[in-house]
Structure 1
Amino acid sequence: MDNKLVELRVENGVAHVTLNRPDKYNALNIELFQAIDKTIKKLHKNKAVRVVILSGAEGNFSSGLDVKSVSKSVMPALKLLFKWLPGNANLAQRVSLGWQQLPIPVIAVIEGFCYGGGVQIALGADFRFASKDAQLSIMESKWGLLPDMAGLAGLRQIMPKDKALQLTYTADIITADKALEYGLVTEVYDDPHQQAQLFADKLMQRSPDTNAAVKLSINKNWSGTLRSLLSRESLSQIRLLVGKNRSIAGHREIKKSAKPYQDRQSGW
């Protein structure tokens, strides 16, 4: 455990990250924001980590912002919102955007409550596996606020604009099945933890450099210009071709060997 508010456990290349404030349904106070931010930075430096499974403790992902805690004084709000330049990410935005910026696949396991800031964090993941009893809500408008944790960076890629507007305007609580229908979650399972582990095992069969390149290419090129897409694809492919994990991948496929991949290249 790296911080009592965030548990980090790494097993066989898979990092299990757990938001750990169960007495408050893993609601986000300033200390939890800081702990998530530190955990993302630690994962970025650990090139042996190849997949992340992100979840909440004791059956809930996160009930969102702990309004009472954050509004006790002006300092927590300043710590969350402060940034040197408008285009930079502040602390509140980094806990969502940071997962997208990790060069490794991130799977969010959503159980129980996933409201407001919890949804924003989950939107930073590459995949969202929900339990059948999960409840989701983009809840900020209920408090007279705008979602401002950079979750829109993920939301705009996975949902039609009218559905995103509908959920954001109304702050409606929706079921996991409805979230799947809207595209807000990737899959709905009886046991999303088990399915996340099975999917992580599948991802571990691919080169960590390839996984990093795929994530970079799709995230950057999804709404980018054609010229930037062509440039990024070519540069990434060259890096893969000269890397040792590319030859290991070929060896594994052609000779059906179990030769292990090396840690992710520097620079991804």
Structure 2
Amino acid sequence: MTEQLITLKIENNIAMVHLNRADKHNAIDMAMFHALDKVSKKLRKNKAIRAVFLCGNGEDFCSGLDVKSVMNEQSNILKLLFKFIPGSSNLAQRVSTNWRKIPVPVVAIIQGRCWGGGLQIALGADFRITSPDASLSIMEAKWGLIPDMGANLALRELVNIDVAKQLAMTGKTITAEQALNYGLVTQVTDDPYQAAIEFIEPFIERSPDSVAAVKKLYNNNWNKKSWHMLAKESWYQIKVILGKNQQRAVKKQLKPDQAKDFDNRQNW
């Protein structure tokens, strides 16, 4: 990765991605934007991994945008916001939306500050497990901006619209417990890393194809019309049934002593 701003380690088919700029509270500069984009695209192609843990080294998960560094050159704004197709993700948005496209559960493990761009990154994950001392904020309002790094996709799924408006319009900083009550985080615990290990175990016990299919079905169709959800549901089910892993899942339930390990997942 670029200057090891992002580190990647894979153990037991769990990919551990760390924001590695602890001396700057993992604030996101241009190099980190590119490194996050690169590592998330790489993981999307890896059919062997079963989960991704998204972490920040040091006392904070991510304090947000490194404003001085990014604003140092006006061309950086164009690089972050430019896109060929209006409905696609630009570089700024891909640090959030890319995690949604990886066909395995992505868990953000959060401590300390998770502000601005840091929260945008974390909201791209499927689940967020935080320490009690974590604080979260959609910080863009304090700079006279709107949240524009792709996490609005998750916000509309997780919280009521009045809560989303309040957080995005004010830049209010909330505690981990408040975030849990709002539905922004999944769990608050004294040891979020260990909790993430325990949390992910039931997912790994299931077919990687059924897990991937559910993630794609829900992420891409949750807010679409009923007929669209029903059509995709049927199509994905056929694809799952035609794969080897569904047969192995049945064997694990009926004859566990004869069951084989799951194959790597199909293309999702």
TM over 0.5: yes
CA distance in 2, matches of 1:247, 1:192: 34
CA distance in 2, matches of 1:154, 1:186: 13
Contact kept, 8 Å, 1:14 with 1:52, in 2: the verdict is: yes
Contact kept, 8 Å, 1:2 with 1:8, in 2: the verdict is: no
CA distance in 1, matches of 2:132, 2:248: 39
- How far has the Cα of 1:254 moved from its partner? 1.2
Contact kept, 8 Å, 2:96 with 2:151, in 1: the verdict is: yes
- How far has the Cα of 1:230 moved from its partner? 1.1
Paired residue for 1:99? Answer: 99
Secondary structure at the counterpart of residue 59 of structure 1: coil
Paired residue for 2:242? Answer: 242
CA distance in 2, matches of 1:200, 1:16: 13
CA distance in 2, matches of 1:138, 1:28: 15
Q: Residue 207 of structure 1 aligns to which amino acid in structure 2?
A: S
Which stretch shows the higher mean deviation, 231-240 or 217-226?
Answer: 217-226
Contact kept, 8 Å, 2:136 with 2:179, in 1: the verdict is: yes
Paired residue for 2:81? Answer: 81
CA distance in 1, matches of 2:45, 2:2: 15
Q: How does 1:138-217 map to 2 (within 5 A)?
A: 138-217=138-217
Contact kept, 8 Å, 1:141 with 1:169, in 2: the verdict is: yes
Paired residue for 1:259? Answer: 260
CA distance in 1, matches of 2:16, 2:198: 13
Secondary structure at the counterpart of residue 16 of structure 2: strand
**RMSD across aligned C-alpha pairs, in angstroms?**
1.2
Paired residue for 1:12? Answer: 12
Paired residue for 1:69? Answer: 69
**TM-score for both structures, normalised by structure 2:** 0.97
CA distance in 1, matches of 2:183, 2:200: 21
Change over 3 Å in CA distance of 1:120–1:261 after alignment to 2 = same
Change over 3 Å in CA distance of 1:260–1:3 after alignment to 2 = farther
Q: Residue 67 of structure 1 aligns to which amino acid in structure 2?
A: V
Q: Where in structure 1 do 4 or more consecutive aligned residues deviate above 4 Å?
A: none
Q: Residue 252 of structure 2 aligns to which amino acid in structure 1?
A: R
CA distance in 2, matches of 1:61, 1:51: 19
Secondary structure at the counterpart of residue 247 of structure 1: helix
Which ranges in structure 2 are unaligned for 5 or more consecutive residues? none
Identity fraction in percent? 52
- How far has the Cα of 1:59 moved from its partner? 2.9
Secondary structure at the counterpart of residue 36 of structure 2: helix
How many equivalent pairs are there? Answer: 267
Paired residue for 1:119? Answer: 119
- How far has the Cα of 1:32 moved from its partner? 0.3
Which ranges in structure 1 are unaligned for 5 or more consecutive residues? none
Contact kept, 8 Å, 2:2 with 2:32, in 1: the verdict is: no
Contact kept, 8 Å, 1:114 with 1:135, in 2: the verdict is: yes
Paired residue for 2:22? Answer: 22
- How far has the Cα of 1:255 moved from its partner? 1.5
Secondary structure at the counterpart of residue 58 of structure 1: coil
Deviation track 1:157-205 (CA, whole Å, cap 9, x = no partner) reads: 0001111111111111111001111111111111111011112222110
- How far has the Cα of 1:27 moved from its partner? 0.3
- How far has the Cα of 1:256 moved from its partner? 2.2
Paired residue for 2:227? Answer: 227
CA distance in 2, matches of 1:192, 1:2: 27
Contact kept, 8 Å, 1:3 with 1:35, in 2: the verdict is: no
CA distance in 1, matches of 2:125, 2:224: 20
- How far has the Cα of 1:2 moved from its partner? 7.7
Q: Residue 154 of structure 2 aligns to which amino acid in structure 1?
A: G
Secondary structure at the counterpart of residue 172 of structure 2: coil
Change over 3 Å in CA distance of 1:41–1:115 after alignment to 2 = same
Secondary structure at the counterpart of residue 263 of structure 1: coil
Change over 3 Å in CA distance of 1:41–1:116 after alignment to 2 = same
Which stretch shows the higher mean deviation, 149-158 or 195-204?
Answer: 195-204
Change over 3 Å in CA distance of 1:52–1:3 after alignment to 2 = farther
